[in-house]
Amino acid sequence: MDGYGIAEEMEFDATPWFEQASKQQLRRLKPELQSGRDHGETYHFYSGEQTDDIFGWMSEKMPDKNSSRLLLFCEKSDATWSVTVNADDVRSWELQQQATKVATGAVDKLLGL
């Protein structure tokens, strides 16, 4: 069936992966940044080996009905999955983490910790 494929979209919250990710894993994500166009609008996303690992980790550590169904389909049909992560969501998460770190440091400094 060369040239044919089945596409199924599934959304999931990847925050738990980002929360446990090492700095090295986050750095390996950066080269996977890509751009696309949809209805004349440019959008940015991550896609590649490290990004695909996010779904693998999530489906192993936090399985749900959709991920289990997709993994079973891939296993039975000898298919693979491909993951994209919205770059704006990643940037928002990074900014939130930085803000939390700065705020925690400021509070600790005020309390003399």
Within the chain, residue ranges assigned H as helices are: 15-20, 23-29, 49-61, 65-77, 87-111
The structure tokens 């940037």 sit at 91
pLDDT, average across residues 53-61: 88
Owning domain of residue 48: 15-86
Q: Looking at the domain assignment, is residue 93 inside a domain?
A: no
Q: Looking at the domain assignment, is residue 30 inside a domain?
A: yes
Q: Looking at the domain assignment, is residue 43 inside a domain?
A: yes
Number of domains in the chain: 1
pLDDT, average across residues 49-69: 86
Q: Looking at the domain assignment, is residue 61 inside a domain?
A: yes
pTM over 0.75: no
pLDDT, average across residues 62-79: 84
Q: Looking at the domain assignment, is residue 35 inside a domain?
A: yes
Give the model's pLDDT for residue 4.
57
